[in-house]
Amino acid sequence: MKKSNQKINSIQRAIGFRFKETSSEADVDSVVKALRDMKGIITEIRSLQGGRNISSAGRDKGFTHLFVLSFDCMADLESYARHPAHMDFVQVLLPHLADSIELDSHLS
């Protein structure tokens, strides 16, 4: 069994957001900006990609945004989760968040 700090080829965290109907586009834009700004602050984030859902399949269950963050190892993901900039982002997000989903996986 691999230890949590051993390097696996890549750890991916996928996060989906559904925002409150009372949140304006400006509110949502400020949340997205705060999320993207973490890339320049939290050095453990190798990449951060994502944005607004563009699917027309109708199976999004109200989720409007999806982001994928990449990390070199589980220790980096854990460090990101505890980082003060991540905690600040959560405070920006929570007033506007109706629901979220978070999945972690590794690419090998």
Record the pTM.
Answer: 0.87
**CB-based contact 11:72 (threshold 8 Å):** yes
Average pLDDT over residues 47-65: 95
How many C-beta neighbours within 10 Å does residue 81 have? Answer: 13
Residue 74 domain boundaries: 9-107
List of residues 6+ apart from 99 with CB closer than 8 A: 17, 18, 62, 63
Say which CATH number the domain at 69 has.
3.30.70.100
d(CA 32, CA 29): 5
Per-residue pLDDT at 37: 97
The structural domain count of the chain equals 1
| Backbone phi, psi, residue 87, to 5° | -60, -40
Per-residue pLDDT at 100: 98
Q: Is residue 4 part of a domain?
A: no
Q: Is residue 2 part of a domain?
A: no
Q: Is residue 31 part of a domain?
A: yes
